Structure 1
């Protein structure tokens, strides 16, 4: 006589149980066609982007993200600098992640490709149809609909950020990283601002207004480094890990 195997019961905390019940209530008595025709469908689109991103990037290895303007042309000194930074990062054992588009992003992928290293692009669908640049490894291009999902991937799979001159998008990515580190939502990693003359006005305002008015602490300004050359930028990344990986509190 065969006996039925008992299914192991998972003991959930009250908080986890309430969360599960809340999810069950949200989808109770709804069929698939109804879900597809409702706002709830967005949840599944978001989930699919997370799943694709997590699965493709899970085994990517140590990478540094290069942020910066999509509007910069190859003749621009910052384009050339981003290309060289990426090239040197690969020589130091890192892959390179960018936003996948033109400008500084293209320069970062170009430098990584030139050094025969990992060249990753996390692209975003935009009204003007931004396309992935030609220097991204074919199997390492992911295109997202949602900026917030894309930013999670940058934060989760980057060992450091190189922040070149850029506009609102670059500032958004920079302040997102600083906020998460400041509030200890993620562990600290190196953030390097490249171009002292470009960043001077913003940093002066942070010091004179944000610190003076106690909107941030003065030590929050230690969460990033300011450099002017590719060699300095790469050295900050290397020095950070040489120092912190030896620390028992890292």
Structure 2
């Protein structure tokens, strides 16, 4: 009886992984339509339109597409909407912006996203948001944003992903996080100084664009 339960568990897991693989293949096919280079923008879904970070994300999206750099987000509200609205190009132009959502998350596609699709698995979404980007800009956000940030840092730290710019935008918001890393994590030896050097914290949009231009080898 125990053997049958184990076989049932194995079969269930196998079918789940087949579903994940199909989602990944579908996602790769969709993301392949987005012209390179690509920058992923992460940030909170609860950031409102009158917030300074919303306005900065909107400006960043606009400036990136002016440099022929595509914008990839989670496709939802807040920072994702701001970046998407900034990255809108004319109907006759080539789409330079895409959103990847997750089903049953309670977030609908924002009003500006031009290319959007949903996946059933967070894992598949994060994999697609991280594997094709030449830089990552992380605006203030909650647990989901921290999850995405940690995923990118860990992949680069363990050399599973090429080292590219990671920017924490918003010094006031991220400063306590950085202080915790320096005063606690670094102090106790759970991270190294080299790990801290993987990302940059700034309020300066021009610095962000400079890092991205250098990585993507584009001219102003």
Question: In structure 2, the residue corresponding to 1:185 is in which secondary structure?
Answer: coil
1:102 is matched with which residue?
A: 77
8 Å CA contact 2:81, 2:112 repeated in 1 = yes
Q: Which runs of 5+ in 2 are unaligned?
A: 1-6
- State the Cα distance separating 1:106 from its structure 2 match: 0.5
Q: Does 1:123 align with 2:101?
A: yes
Q: Which runs of 5+ in 1 are unaligned?
A: 1-29, 244-250
Q: Distance in 2 between matches of 1:242 and 1:210?
A: 34
- State the Cα distance separating 1:75 from its structure 2 match: 1.0
Report the count of equivalent residues.
Answer: 207
Q: Distance in 2 between matches of 1:92 and 1:131?
A: 28
Q: Distance in 2 between matches of 1:124 and 1:38?
A: 22
Instruction: Give the structure-2-normalised TM-score.
Output: 0.87
Q: Deviations over 1:91-141 (max 9, x none)?
A: 1220101101000000011000158651100111234x211112111xx21
Question: In structure 1, the residue corresponding to 2:197 is in which secondary structure?
Answer: helix
Q: Distance in 1 between matches of 2:215 and 2:161?
A: 16
What is the Cα-based RMSD across aligned positions, in Å?
A: 2.2
Question: In structure 2, the residue corresponding to 1:184 is in which secondary structure?
Answer: coil
Q: Deviations over 1:215-239 (max 9, x none)?
A: 1111211101111032221112113
Q: Distance in 2 between matches of 1:166 and 1:175?
A: 13
2:64 is matched with which residue?
A: 89
Q: Does 1:46 align with 2:23?
A: no
Q: Distance in 2 between matches of 1:223 and 1:238?
A: 17
Range 111-120 or range 230-239, more displaced: 111-120
Q: Which structure ranks higher in relative contact order (CA pairs < 8 Å, sequence separation ≥ 6)? A: 2
Q: Distance in 2 between matches of 1:130 and 1:156?
A: 23
